[in-house]
Chains A and B, each alone.
Chain A
Amino acid sequence: MTSLTRWIHRLAERPTDVETSASNSDSAESQPLLDSTWDSLYIHRQLAWLAARRISFRAERFLRRLRSPRRLIATSLVLLFFSFYVMNGIFILSARAATDPLHLRLWLSGGMVLYLMYHLVKCVWSNTRVNLELSNAETLWLGNSPLCRSSLAVYHVGNLVLPAALKTMMLSILLARDVGYPLLLVIGTFTSLMLLEITRLTFGRLVSGMSKKQRGWFRLITTSSAVALVIQLLACVHSLTASGSPMWFYVINTIRGLGEIASTPTIQFLSTPWIASAYLTATVSLQPLTALQLLAALGIFPLSLILLVKADRWSLLQEQKRDVSRLSEGRYETRESQSHSYSGLRVNRLQSAIDYCTPWIARDTLNLVYRQAISVRHYRYKIAISLLLPTVLCLSPLFMGRITEQWFYVVGGIALCTILLAPPALRIDFRRDLKRMVLLRSLPVKPFSMVVGQLALPILITWTFQLATATIAALVTHPGWDQFILWTGVLFALAVVTFAGENALFLAYPHHQHNEGIAMMLRTKLTFLGKGTVIVITLSLLVLWATLCQNLLPEPYASVCYISGSITATWTAAFLGLAAATLCWRRFDVAMDTPPE
């Protein structure tokens, strides 16, 4: 890493003719506000120097943290995971049957489009305006420097190279068995991932520049397309799976179904920019065409960057035009008009209601919940979209032929979604408050009340999702009240355990919301594996408990004992989870534990 910095340093020191001429012409040239022309090579070398310095600093910090006794458990898990991943790649994945190159190509290119579609739907329903995703420091120091916007875009894309390289490494281990030329696999995968990131940024800028009406239309188009894709996927899975097949068949066929959809002519047409990279990845034999594919895969970069810069320019112009027209038409508020419309009375009444209706011990918690509710209102569309898809997926077993197992499949789906999908979709807890930890610490709220207040809303939303899905499934399958009470009781506790565990982990090893890089990637994988392990252990214990009850007690008592025992055990785990989160909150040291941004 240090040698990389030294190399960039030397590169940045080297003067060029371009630099000299640029420096001479700088004072005379006239650049418009929304200039999208390109800076001299000198500027890009300085930005590369900055990026290299930052990477070097982060790498050193990462290595330092790995050696830290405070992070001994995390380090051990990381090393274990890496060993497991590489061993799995060498010994298990290399022994499987190779995928047909044609399918591999279609899946890679089409898969990128499907992933982009997911990002698009998220983006159009988000209320946040994306400004090239720059941090505050970058906005100040680079935005205030004599740089073109294009340089900011190039700089940001440059910062995406390392995360894309790491993802490429993981994917390459996975796909090595399927290809003949590993180097081309690496190049093809890397260019595909980079193009995906640039396209995602480009659409982000385009959506930011859209008017309310345009955005509304775009929402309709993207959401209806996504819904159509989901329906197509369900139909595909239904046709691929014989009626009455076990659940894991459905899981496997869902992956196959995604592959089928990715291979459809429409998706393949949309994936045109990724075609060259996909061909390159699945190269069977080296031909002159391979060189052309390599050129096309690499050549798409400058083209996509130009499109990003143009989209950025268009977005800025549209925002400016809208402001000017709003100003000229008098469609704005001033401080005076805002103070007239202040709804202080309503807020005060609500606060009074909280104070009046709740015992003093719960007031702190409720006030924290009230604050979280404001955020939920702000992100309501995003949350609804994030939970709609899991609901549809969980209910998909209802289309299966086996009536007796449908209920359990739905419950299993809800449990999986609760553990795996709900925490990333509902980050309205400690995880979004890292920058406000000092403020939270300073509040006169007891640690347990703080934890409950912070976690209450995401848990309540998850309960709503669980209850709605389970009720629909119960109405269709009629599992009986005992089953309904048992499983909703267990699932509710599972939601508490999940969010408590997620927050405890965050407080023990905090990170910024938009952090990327190898540490975050490993963290995600390890958490995923950890959750998988928890699911397996929980299910095993429940099965063991059911067997014990059935074998040791007569029938009416066995059911009661099984239900009450299961609910008690899972709720005990839930309270233990909350206690662990409280302990981690107590232990959290604002000075020591807050990581740099």
Chain B
Amino acid sequence: MIEVEGLRKLYDSYLAVDGISFSINAGQICGLIGPNGAGKTTTMRCLSGLISATSGSLKVADCCVQTNLKTLKTRLAYVPDDPPLFDDLSVGEHMEFIGRLYRVPDHHDKAIELLRQFELLDKYKAGATTLSRGMRQKLAVCCAYLYSPSVILLDEPLTGLDPPAIRTLLESVRVRAAAGATIIISSHLLAMIAPICTHLLVMQNGSAQYFGDTKTLRDQFPHAKTLEDAYFAATHPDTPSNPPTASPPFNTSALPQHGNQDGSPATSHGVTEAVS
């Protein structure tokens, strides 16, 4: 689970995140959305402990981020947007290193399985520099999944992936959440992630515009036909296309199949529909 209370982050003299609070339980998938520069990546980096929060209370995977970081890192995986890889290691060696560092039992077999799942097995001996952007993204996800973390933070994981890879990734996210992992997935491709998200955190200018389950967001903006419309209504309330008052009732049949409204993970059927 993730519990954040009043997170604020200052970069030199710039306030990147301004007092956001939210809570996500095990098994839930939270879509983190917002325009560029909203503070999404900073929030994720603070949660992962890569950078320290300037103020606020952060509890991730039963660990306080400020005081229990080392234990937290054994339970958490953070996959950044366009992950930098070791230019002088092969795909297999990346997996090998993570397996060793996290002391994963049978890490070689698990690595093979994951690479097969993400169609990277034929690149096992290839150097990292020979990989495309999408392949690098897939390798970073494979490394993250290798030690089965209980909290997974995926920053723009769909960028650069081909449609089958997007389907595989979203399916894997759903499966991991069903197994009890807490997942935050940041993306601009709302239509893609909407079916699997149980919750949404909408950020703008460093603040949280909305946090809650997807149903409540749609209820707040009943005129919105899709989650994307609801997002625009939340982040750009003054635009003429987003009247403040409700117009036609929210039409769920127009949406792709999304996560269950009670907070449990979405079905694989929904994922398949969204990417096909």
Contact with B13, one of A23, A148, A332 (Cβ below 8 angstroms): A332
Interface: A35 (CB within 8 A):
yes
CA distance A467 to B88 in the complex (A): 46
Nearest B residue to A338, CB-CB: B14
Interface set, chain A 90-139, CB cutoff 8 A to B: 135-139
B49 touches A323 (CB 8 A): no
B87 touches A137 (CB 8 A): yes
Mark B71-94 against chain A: 1 for CB-CB distance below 8 A, else 0. Answer: 101100010100111111100010
Interface: B160 (CB within 8 A):
no
Q: Which residues of B contact A316 (CB under 8 A)?
A: 52
Q: What size tier do the contact residues of chain A reach?
A: 35 or more
Q: Which residues of A contact B87 (CB under 8 A)?
A: 137, 596-597
CB contact under 8 A between A327 and B8, given known A33-B52, A33-B65, A33-B67: yes
Contact with A57, one of B71, B84, B88, B101 (Cβ below 8 angstroms): B88
CA distance A138 to B67 in the complex (A): 23
B52 touches A320 (CB 8 A): yes
Among A23, A61, A145, max chain B CB count under 10 A is at A145
Q: Which residues of A contact B101 (CB under 8 A)?
A: 43, 46, 145-147
Contact with B54, one of A139, A143, A324 (Cβ below 8 angstroms): A324
A12 touches B100 (CB 8 A): yes
Q: Which residues of B contact A46 (CB under 8 A)?
A: 97, 100-101
A33 touches B49 (CB 8 A): yes
B69 touches A31 (CB 8 A): yes
Nearest B residue to A42, CB-CB: B103
Interface: A17 (CB within 8 A):
no
Interface: A555 (CB within 8 A):
no
Interface: A6 (CB within 8 A):
no
CB of A21 to closest CB in B, whole Å: 13
Q: Which residues of A contact B68 (CB under 8 A)?
A: 30-31
Contact with B14, one of A42, A324, A333 (Cβ below 8 angstroms): A333
B71 touches A146 (CB 8 A): yes
CB contact under 8 A between A326 and B10, given known A137-B87, A141-B86: yes
CB contact under 8 A between A335 and B103, given known A54-B89, A323-B10, A324-B54: no
Among A35, A43, A336, A596, max chain B CB count under 10 A is at A596
Nearest B residue to A54, CB-CB: B88
CA distance A316 to B52 in the complex (A): 10
CB of B78 to closest CB in A, whole Å: 6
Interface: A516 (CB within 8 A):
no
Interface: B257 (CB within 8 A):
no
Interface: A70 (CB within 8 A):
no
A23 touches B103 (CB 8 A): yes
Nearest B residue to A47, CB-CB: B101
Interface: B66 (CB within 8 A):
yes
B52 touches A327 (CB 8 A): no
Interface: B43 (CB within 8 A):
no
Contact with A333, one of B15, B54, B84, B97 (Cβ below 8 angstroms): B15
Q: Which residues of A contact B86 (CB under 8 A)?
A: 50, 54, 137-138, 141
Mark A524-555 against chain B: 1 for CB-CB distance below 8 A, else 0. Answer: 00000000000000000000000000000000
B50 touches A144 (CB 8 A): yes
CB of B63 to closest CB in A, whole Å: 9
B93 touches A53 (CB 8 A): yes
CA distance A27 to B100 in the complex (A): 17
CA distance A46 to B52 in the complex (A): 26
CB contact under 8 A between A30 and B13, given known A137-B84, A596-B129: no
CA distance A324 to B89 in the complex (A): 39
CB of B235 to closest CB in A, whole Å: 13
Interface: A29 (CB within 8 A):
yes
Interface set, chain B 203-247, CB cutoff 8 A to A: 205-206
CA distance A31 to B68 in the complex (A): 5
B206 touches A335 (CB 8 A): yes
Interface set, chain B 186-209, CB cutoff 8 A to A: 205-206
Among B8, B52, B102, B143, max chain A CB count under 10 A is at B52
Nearest B residue to A13, CB-CB: B100
Interface: A49 (CB within 8 A):
yes
Q: Which residues of B contact A50 (CB under 8 A)?
A: 86, 89, 97
Mark A13-38 against chain B: 1 for CB-CB distance below 8 A, else 0. Answer: 00000000001001101111101000
Supplied contacts A141-B86, A141-B143, 8 more A-B pairs, CB within 8 Å: A32-B69, A33-B49, A57-B127, A323-B54, A324-B54, A332-B13, A335-B205, A596-B127
What 4 A-B pairs are tightest by C-beta distance, nearest first?
Answer: A596-B87, A31-B70, A136-B84, A57-B88
